Chains A and B, each alone.
Chain A
Amino acid sequence: MKTVWARVFCRLLVALMIWTPYQIATAGMIGTDQAVTASAQSDRAAVLGFANRGDVARQLQTLGIDPKTAQDRIAALSDQEVQSLAGKIQSVPAGADSGDVAIAILVIAGIAVLVWYLWKRM
């Protein structure tokens, strides 16, 4: 019984943790990002961006990030950047490779063209 309550309580805390950091606007002041993107964005789009923050934070967690870190990382994104990730976090580029390997492939491709050229000439 005790563990059930503990679990419910923990879930509540996690939900609150995900929710709170996005409510950072000072009361009554219209934020600069709102003013800057006003022409392109309606209130609806702003609300969508807000909802997406939670979604993207959860996606980050499924990719191996703990909830607190995910929330900090999402908080550093602009609304547009959040939109660009929503639903696409598995498909957008993730820079990782060693450049040395990468260049080696270019060199191999270059050699291939050269070999082909020599073969044609013979």
Chain B
Amino acid sequence: MIRGLRALRQNARAIAGVFFLFACAALLSGCVSFTPQTKNLAQFRPAGIPGMRELTEVPFFPQSDYQCGPAALATVMVAAGVRITPDELVPEVYLPERKGSLQVEMLAAARRHGLVSYQLAPSYGDLVREIAAGTPVILLQNLGFKEGWHYAVAIGYDWDNGMLQLRSGRNERQELPFAMNEMAWRRSGYWAMVAVPPERIPASADEGRWLAAVAALERTGQSAPARTAYRAFLERWPANVNAAIGLANTHHALGELPEAERVLREAANREPDSVVVLNNLAQTLLDQGRAAEALPFIERAAAAGGPYASTVQETRQSILQKISQQKN
């Protein structure tokens, strides 16, 4: 027994020597500062969420070498109702020379399949609110290496016991204490994303950043899902003129000109000075062959000036051209 202890002690000396600096750093700075959010969890537990929830229905795709990006993405996309496999996502997110997947490409790939990608605020509270609302969350973790980045999907939590459940790598159900996950997660600046169907708004969504997320979907040419997302947005935040502009733009892109006109006229009533609304309304009227009706709107836009002046002038020119053609 005593010999065993002595042997352990000798070994321990050797091993401890290797990790001495790490341990010193950990104790000197206090372990608490490694996990500042976990320390404060009790104070900012979001109101109205259950003490625990696990999304057992979320599928599991064990990753192959370096492919945690496609695996994590497929996990949340299938949960959002898209039929896809990790292999199909490899050409959309994987970078062979980096042997990994970039964060912005993870966001972009979900968009290409008609989902809205949203980067969460860097907060445990928001992460848990999303899971409580039924949305699995992709986290970017790092465990100390320069290139040790890893995507895992948080699918459950147990607030009272401080545990998080994840689909991670080849592990179908990994259970980590909040603090341990935080040590890995904070290295990425608490990077986390969700990908949801366009009719849904994430539980933690912020008005401005959610609108930018929907606009990014529209930009990829996904007009029909973007239209759905703008409608849901305007139900929640009816006063947002930029969302109305977005809804009208998706109608326009889908060839639904009367609907685009209706949305823009409503917006123009609420915000008579918005150059974008006036320009797009004038263009929509022109596209329906009503140049004379469009003219007063574009004149108002031209009078206002601002960053869109060159586009407004182009629209005005084409309206004037059309009017002179109609006269001849």
What is the CA–CA distance of A102 and B145 in the complex, to the nearest angstrom?
Answer: 9
Task: Name the one of B144, B150, B284, B310 contacting A99, with C-beta atoms under 8 angstroms.
Answer: B150
Q: Which residues of A contact B9 (CB under 8 A)?
A: 119, 122
Give the interface residue-count category, chain B: 35 or more
Interface string of B1-40 (1 = CB under 8 A from A): 0000100110011011011101100110000000000000
Q: Is A6 an interface residue (CB 8 A)?
A: no
- From 38 to 76 in chain A, residues with beta carbon under 8 angstroms from any chain B beta carbon are 38, 42-43, 60, 62-65, 69, 72-73, 75-76
Report whether A43 and B307 are in contact in the complex, using a CB–CB cutoff of 8 Å.
yes
What is the CA–CA distance of A21 and B170 in the complex, to the nearest angstrom?
Answer: 38
Residue in A closest to B95 when the chains form the complex, CB atoms:
A63
Q: Which residues of A contact B211 (CB under 8 A)?
A: 36
Report whether A94 and B176 are in contact in the complex, using a CB–CB cutoff of 8 Å.
no
* 9 A-B interface contacts by CB (under 8 A): A33-B218, A38-B308, A73-B108, A76-B112, A77-B216, A81-B216, A96-B149, A97-B169, A105-B148
Main secondary structure on B side of the interface with A: helix
Q: Which residues of A contact B111 (CB under 8 A)?
A: 76
What is the CA–CA distance of A92 and B218 in the complex, to the nearest angstrom?
Answer: 26
Report whether B141 and A102 are in contact in the complex, using a CB–CB cutoff of 8 Å.
yes
Q: Is B101 an interface residue (CB 8 A)?
A: yes
Report whether A112 and B242 are in contact in the complex, using a CB–CB cutoff of 8 Å.
no
Closest 5 CB pairs of A and B: A94-B100, A96-B100, A112-B19, A64-B96, A99-B169
Q: Is B186 an interface residue (CB 8 A)?
A: no
With contacts defined as CB atoms under 8 Å apart, how many contacts are there between chain A and chain B in the complex? 221
Q: Which residues of B contact A69 (CB under 8 A)?
A: 91
Q: Which residues of B contact A24 (CB under 8 A)?
A: 219, 221
Report whether A103 and B216 are in contact in the complex, using a CB–CB cutoff of 8 Å.
no
Q: Is A35 an interface residue (CB 8 A)?
A: yes
User: Which residues in A have some Cβ–Cβ distance to B below 8 Å?
Assistant: 24, 26-38, 42-43, 60, 62-65, 69, 72-73, 75-78, 80-81, 84-85, 89-90, 92-103, 105-106, 109, 112-113, 115-116, 118-119, 122
Task: Name the one of B22, B170, B212 contacting A112, with C-beta atoms under 8 angstroms.
Answer: B22
Report whether A35 and B245 are in contact in the complex, using a CB–CB cutoff of 8 Å.
yes
Report whether A81 and B212 are in contact in the complex, using a CB–CB cutoff of 8 Å.
no
Q: Which residues of B contact A98 (CB under 8 A)?
A: 63, 65, 68, 150, 169-170
Report whether B318 and A103 are in contact in the complex, using a CB–CB cutoff of 8 Å.
no
Report whether B212 and A37 are in contact in the complex, using a CB–CB cutoff of 8 Å.
yes
What is the CA–CA distance of A65 and B287 in the complex, to the nearest angstrom?
Answer: 40
Q: Which residues of B contact A29 (CB under 8 A)?
A: 249, 252, 279-280, 283-284
What is the CA–CA distance of A37 and B208 in the complex, to the nearest angstrom?
Answer: 10
Q: Is B315 an interface residue (CB 8 A)?
A: yes
